[in-house]
Amino acid sequence: MQKRKLGNSGLEVSAIGLGCMGMSFSYGPPKDKQEMIALMRTAVERGVTFFDTAEVYGPFINEELVGEALAPLRDQVVIATKFGFDTSVDPRAMKGSGPVLNSRPEHIKDVAEASLKRLRTDVIDLFYQHRVDPDVPIEDVAGAVKELIQAGKVKHFGLSEAGIQTVRRAHAIQPVAALQNEYSLWWRRPEDDILPTLEELGIGLVAYSPLGKGFLTGKIDESTTFDSTDFRTTLPRFTPEARKVNQALVDLLGTIAAEKRSTPAQIALAWLLAQKPWIVPIPGTTRLERLDENNGAVAIELTATDLSDIETAAAKITVEGARYPERLEQMTNR
């Protein structure tokens, strides 16, 4: 597995990380605990060193799972987790009026202490603000994380789905190692202003949902049914009608994959890796064969001609449907 550095922070991670959320949250019922522990430990054996979780995934159970799985391998891995939600609120509120934000400095420090215990570690490698809290100045947030870094409880500061002015203000207080944003062939908005800003400031991009929440793998079509607890049932982009239209993008990936003797998922990840050397995708999976498939993307070389052909073909495809319901989209790019 190749390594990449997230911007100028010095934080080096595997070129492809592992998003752990779906093991216990959002994509249907939680998966078997022992199977997921085995998967994460096998991922380390395969060279994956970058694992992503958050207190709100569950809440709490995903951090506990990651902590148990990686405790024996702690010196070999980078663990990223997140703060920023009020987890004292009934999680069912996440599907109602929307999640409740809380990035007050005292809350950030409480979350850090609780996450350290669940993760069975004495330091958090990368601590993201999960979503920008409009009620708390970002300078206060960055200052709180700076104090945690000075106390040796956190190594690096990150933001997620923040707008460029917020990134700049935070970075001026405490250098931001990474911005975690959705980025893939079917969500390319970061290219407008986020990527140039990150390049200017020397900040890495961690791309979540690099496979379009599973859609770009080619394993989902308009007839696919999802478990009632799968949050994709709430996403406009995943209505049967939208999936039918969006199949054109998967077909494009499939055509290129056939030429490269690979899979649509591998082409989608290889495309991301080819955009910038400081971009690290974190696809999630609960199956070993998919882990190996995703990791195989690092060996696929897309030439300048390949990338140009993808660009030309993708430009003719209009992706149908918003990525989030309006209440959740409003929490991004602040």
Is 57 known to be catalytic? yes
Q: What was the pLDDT predicted at 115?
A: 98
Q: What was the pLDDT predicted at 3?
A: 98
Secondary structure of residue 25 in the 3-state scheme: coil
pLDDT along the chain (334 residues), means of 10: 97 98 94 98 98 96 98 98 90 61 98 98 98 98 98 98 98 98 97 98 98 96 94 95 95 95 97 98 98 98 94 94 94 95
Q: Which residue has the tokens 């944003």?
A: 181
- Complete domains list, the chain, with CATH: 3-329 (3.20.20.100)
Q: What was the pLDDT predicted at 68?
A: 98
Exposure letters 47-67 (e unless 16+ CB within 10 A, then b)? ebbbbbbbbbbbbbbbbbbbb
Q: What was the pLDDT predicted at 243?
A: 96
213 and 232 in contact (C-beta within 8 Å)? yes
Give how far the C-alpha of residue 138 lies from the chain's centroid of Cα atoms, to the nearest Å.
21
**Torsional class of 152: left (φ above 0), alpha (ψ -120 to 50), beta (otherwise):** left
Q: What was the pLDDT predicted at 90?
A: 65
287-318 confidence digits (pLDDT tens): 999 999 999 999 999 999 999 999 999 999 99
Strands (E) located in 141-282: 154-160, 176-182, 204-208, 279-281
Angle at 31 between CA 25 and CA 36, to 5 degrees: 105
pTM: 0.96
173-202 confidence digits (pLDDT tens): 999 999 999 999 999 999 999 999 999 999
Catalytic residue among 27, 57, 128, 183: 57
Q: What was the pLDDT predicted at 122?
A: 98
